[in-house]
Amino acid sequence: MNFESGILLHMGVNYLLTPPPDLDMRKFLDFQGALLDEGIDYGEARHSEKELNLRRANPPLQIRVLAPNPPMGQLLIVAPQPEDGLEMFGRKADAIVNAFSNTWPAQRQIVSCDCTIRYLYESSRDHAFEEIWESRLKQPKENLAIFGAPVGGGGLRFVMPVIPSSPEPVEIEVKIESYLKDPRKLYVDARFKWPQTRPSALTFEPLERLKTVDRFIEDKALAFMEASR
């Protein structure tokens, strides 16, 4: 695995909130104005009774505010195939949550928040699954013959449940898999979910949450794969 070859495939932060935001046309326009005040531009804006959806193509960004199932609402900020790096996306996400808070200033609680980052890496083998199966897990490829067909890809998934006694309880899910679009590459995907453990315990802080997930990938997930060297 070429650890220096990592490129960002996806970044996102997601918040479940209560009470849900009011998504009438006036608030839709107010939110657009608040985003512009924060320096966030977009190319397309759509409004419906239960969703506000703003997006742009370059650099990729999507903002969704939803109120699908009262008493819950949702704020989702995603960069599919980001081009401007984690720090810049995180700062934009900080600005977006400021715009959200200015548009809907009423007292609300974050019920849970989650953050996902996915990197793509070049494999040190002709097929990335070989690196996972043979190099990291030390398994002979002959063991896969039991399936009766070639294995085109696969990987590992780790789920670490919340530790209630932790100072900051979090559920972690990590995937290390071959990339089906290009079997010479593999991706590392980490998702952190912070549940609310007490009233008003959670805050937005998207940039800091992104940095926390990114450090975990660097210090834990990549270290796990480095053990195969």
Domain ranges of the chain: 2-226
pTM: 0.92
Q: What is the pLDDT of residues 137-193, one digit of tens each?
A: 999 999 999 999 999 999 999 999 998 788 888 999 999 999 999 999 999 999 999
Q: What is the pLDDT of residues 12-67, one digit of tens each?
A: 999 999 999 999 999 999 999 999 999 999 989 999 989 999 999 888 999 999 99
Q: Which residues pair with 18 in a beta bridge?
A: 109
**Residue 199: which pLDDT band, with cuts at 50, 70 and 90?**
low
Question: Measured on CA atoms in the order 211, 212, 215, 216, is the torsion positive or negative?
Answer: negative
For 175-216, the DSSP string reads EEEE-TTSTTEEEEEEEEEEE--STT-----HHHHHHHHHHH
DSSP-based three-state secondary structure for 165: coil
